[in-house]
A and B are shown apart, each in its own frame.
Chain A
Amino acid sequence: MTTFTDPPSESFRLSMLLNDTRYRSYTFQFIALLILIVMMAYLGMNLVRNLAAAGLNISYEFLDQPAGYDINQSLIDYNSQSTHMTAAVVGIINTLLVAFLACLTATLIGVVAGVLRLSKNWLVSKLMAAYVEAFRNVPVLIWIIIIFTVVTAVLPGARAYLGEDPEYDLFLGMMAFTNRGVYIPALIWGPGSGVVAAVFVASIFGVFAYRRYARNLLFETGRLLPMGWPSLAILIVPSLLVFFVMGQPITMDMPDPLANRFNLRGGLQIGAPLIALWLALSIYTGAFIAENVRAGIQAISKGQTEAAASLGLRPNRIMNLVVLPQALRVIIPPLISQYLNITKNSSLAIAVGYADVTATLGGITLNQTGRAIECVLLLMLFYLVISLSISSIMNVYNKSVSLKER
């Protein structure tokens, strides 16, 4: 914009604004900006006039009012007397939770399916092709509903686990799979459990340090240290020792089939809506990721594999050391946009009754307060922030792995 204030050259004529390519772009930009401003002003004015006519206003005060409704799954403290703001935060956390879980499993499913689709086993590759095509070509909303129906219809009701003489026993004495959700033992963090957790985290770093050491040793001296069992030992042994030294501070809270006549009590309940949405998103997106993985692997020229084989590498080492590192460069960018899609598709949670942010802030809060504009704006803002942060991470990664050519 500063360029507008530049002193015009001696020979500047008004017609140059249209005919001279040096100045024409300013004209175009000025017109575009003008149109944009006029449009915004027009929409804004309409908004003000409409709101005035309806006697409404834009106000975010409702966020401090008690929400008045309950949410079935919340990672933070929430009850019906909490504010709409808290309800929105619960929704945000739930969105992030399901998106995170689905990203993990979708990647797993996608990589396995993508690799298997290239398998020499005819049946397996055809089966994977069928999976990929079936899921890629049907709307995710339909899949979510179908999978929710499957979860509801196939798993037994909670009452099958209840009472003195239940129809089903707890799986391994600690887990129950019902159509209301899966019940697993919850960990109770007693006093001193922080030390155990700290030691465990330290051991994770220890494993990495050991692996790094072993690798350097391999590169420098050619001596190959065993990787598998020492890592496992470093990971588990110190934590276990501390666990017993501290007097077993972490205990498990088992689901109890006898405490209540309607539901299992205790333990950790993963609600059926979450499971259905999680499954649906990961299977659906897994199909897309499988295609990305396949494309990535196929993009690596055959010569690379053959060269690696002629060096005497075993097939799984060829995959790990030669093909995958190169394929990742092709796979990661579309993979991250699939993660974005998962986050955005998780807004379909309303179809299964999962309390994500679209269901709390954009659903019940919107219904109860009638504050449509405010709620939808906040909702869009949230998704925008998430998407932009994921894509900025993607850009950083892209820069770091892009081939430094020429």
Chain B
Amino acid sequence: MTDRNSQIVAFVREETIPQAPPPTAEAGVVKWVRVNLFSSIPYSILTLVSLYVIYAILASFLPWLFNGVWHTSNIRECREVLEGATGGCFSVLSDRWNQLLFGIAYPSDQYWRPSLAFVLLFGALAPVLFPNAPRRLLILTGLYPFIAFWLVWGGTIFIPLMALAGVAAGYLVYSRYVADSFAMGAAGGVATAMVVWWIGGFVTGATEGVLALEAVPSRDMGGFMLNMILGVVCVSLSLPLGIALALGRQSSMPIIKWICVVFIEFIRGVPLITLLFVANVVLAYFLPPGTNFDLILRVIIMITMFASAYIAEVIRGGLAALPRGQYEAADSLGLDYAQSMRLIILPQALKISIPGIVNVAVGLFKDTTLVSVISMFDLVGMIRGPILASSDWNGVYWELWLFAALLFFVVCYGISQYSQWLERQLATDHR
């Protein structure tokens, strides 16, 4: 058989042929393009349209960007340099860089202070945001509010020191009594802190100028720094307030519940800008005659109230999402309300709420630009006010607005990426 076959068949393959590469349409770039861009006629049309859109945007944007002028001192010089060609007058950014970031009134030799506070902010936030950051950084987190206050506002170091002493004393008292009763611990802690602050008032009065940085009044804050200050301060202040409101809204005590509901719904029902109007033009009438709050402080109060209502709703969502069994388990262990909240419910509810809280924080940070409407010189206010009004830079819009947009984009995109990362981290243990 074998012999015959070998004679009949002219050729017998004795080894396997090497694997052929797939057809060009099914491999590499071509396949990727075909599958991802031109898989069907409608998709191909969409792709072509998208390509055209991208081209149109880039074609007008890139020359403007790359032909930009960076070193002139006013718009007339810039126009001369450009000689009618397309190009951005980016020199407005280099000329007014410090004003965009720090406002007009912050002493220019003190710029290092807010910058340092900004850098330290990352250190302070790290242990809160990243579970595997070194725990020792938590000390920095605790101290950060005082350091930042001292750095940004200046004045004697005794003001933040006394504030810190008050908090520390209050915490000591609280931790001593919390085992007996949360209410007693909290009340004792607050009372102690108040006493220390009251005493501290005399100390700071006496030590004015000791170890002092140049004091900067808060109305001298401006530029992007003001947005950062408002964002960071208001978000951190609104967290405890929001938790309290959320617990109040879930409470079984009708009066407390209704106070919280009315507050939350009222704040969420009106635009932030009307609250800022209140801060600016109405609040003064509700304060005792002769009191004169700083505008920035009034704004901080209003934005904090605003943010806390939104955060309360996020946390309420977190509380509602916890399985009923968690509440019942806490009760069955014989924990009282404060204990069950502090030890069982809130840690879990807050963890679920973190992405929501981050969203609120991003939204709030963006909303800080609204203060420009009430004549504060934040980044947007700087652009709309002094810079565009000056004869040097009157008529430079795109450069300034796109710069502002870019600045906010970098910060907010960073935060939202973090939030997504965190969501993935948190999601792992549910799957």
Contact = CB atoms under 8 A, between A and B. Distances in A.
Q: Do chains A and B touch in the complex (CB under 8 A)?
A: yes
A383 to B, nearest CB: 5
Interface in B32-69: 35-37, 39, 43, 46-47, 50-51, 53-54
Nearest to A143: B405
B269 A384 contact: yes
Nearest to A130: B54
Question: Which secondary structure characterizes the binding site on chain B?
Answer: helix
A380 B274 CA distance: 7
B295 interface: no
A348 B413 CA distance: 23
Contacts of B255: 29, 32-33
A159 interface: no
Interface stretch (A71-79, A82-90, A133-141, A160-168): A133-141
Given A149-B397, A373-B282, A388-B269, A123 B50 contact: yes
Given A123-B37, A141-B372, A134 B274 contact: no
B277 A362 contact: yes
A133 B409 CA distance: 8
Interface stretch (A41-49, A254-262, A323-331): A41-49
A121 B413 contact: no
B18 interface: no
B288 A28 contact: no
Given A46-B289, A47-B286, A350 B408 contact: no
B287 interface: yes
Contacts of A348: 273, 370, 373
Contacts of B272: 344
Interface string B243-287: 000000000111110010000011011111110011001101111
B384 to A, nearest CB: 8
B277 A376 contact: yes
Contacts of A251: none
A146 B405 contact: yes
B366 A388 contact: no
A43 B286 contact: yes
Interface string A236-268: 000000000000000000000000000000000
Interface string B338-382: 000000000000000000000000100011011011000000100
B380 A372 contact: no
A383 B253 contact: no
Q: Which of A49, A123, A149 has the most CB of B within 10 A?
A: A123
Contacts of A387: 268-270
B274 A138 contact: no
A146 B367 contact: no
Nearest to A116: B46
Contact of B47 (A29, A46, A124): A124
A25 B251 CA distance: 10
B369 A142 contact: yes
Contacts of B367: 139
Given A29-B254, A120-B36, A138 B270 contact: no
Interface residues of B, number: 57
A299 interface: no
A51 interface: yes
A36 interface: yes
B289 A50 contact: yes
Contact of B36 (A50, A121, A145): A121
A169 B20 CA distance: 62
Interface in A380-398: 380, 383-384, 386-388, 391
Nearest to A347: B271
Nearest to B227: A139
A124 B50 contact: yes
A28 B256 contact: yes
Q: Bin the interface of chain A by size.
A: 35 or more
Interface in B391-424: 397-398, 401-402, 404-405, 408-409, 412-413, 416
Interface string A145-164: 11001000000000000000
Contacts of B398: 149
B289 A376 contact: no
A145 B401 contact: yes
Contact of A347 (B37, B274, B287, B369): B274
A141 B278 contact: no
A345 B271 contact: yes
A351 to B, nearest CB: 7
Given A122-B37, A124-B47, A350-B373, A25 B366 contact: no
A53 interface: yes
Contacts of A202: none
Contacts of A372: 277, 281-282
A36 B248 CA distance: 14
Nearest to A344: B271
Given A29-B256, A379-B277, A121 B271 contact: no
Given A25-B253, A139-B369, A376-B277, A344 B47 contact: no
Contact of A373 (B274, B285, B287, B372): B285
Interface in B102-158: none
Interface string B276-310: 01100110111111000000000000000000000
A141 B370 contact: yes
B277 A140 contact: no
Nearest to A121: B43
A358 interface: yes
Given A121-B47, A124-B50, A137-B413, A380 B362 contact: no
A400 B408 CA distance: 40
Given A25-B252, A120-B39, A127-B53, A142 B268 contact: no
Q: Which of B277, B284, B370 has the most CB of A within 10 A?
A: B277
A50 B285 contact: yes
Interface of B: 35-37, 39, 43, 46-47, 50-51, 53-54, 252-256, 259, 265-266, 268-274, 277-278, 281-282, 284-289, 336, 362, 366-367, 369-370, 372-373, 380, 384, 397-398, 401-402, 404-405, 408-409, 412-413, 416
5 contacts: A29-B256, A358-B274, A372-B282, A376-B282, A387-B270
Given A25-B253, A138-B412, A141-B372, 13 more contacts: A29-B256, A50-B285, A120-B35, A121-B43, A121-B47, A124-B43, A134-B409, A138-B366, A142-B401, A142-B404, A344-B271, A376-B281, A379-B274
- Nearest 8 pairs of A and B residues by beta carbon: A387-B269, A122-B36, A137-B412, A344-B271, A139-B366, A29-B255, A372-B281, A384-B269
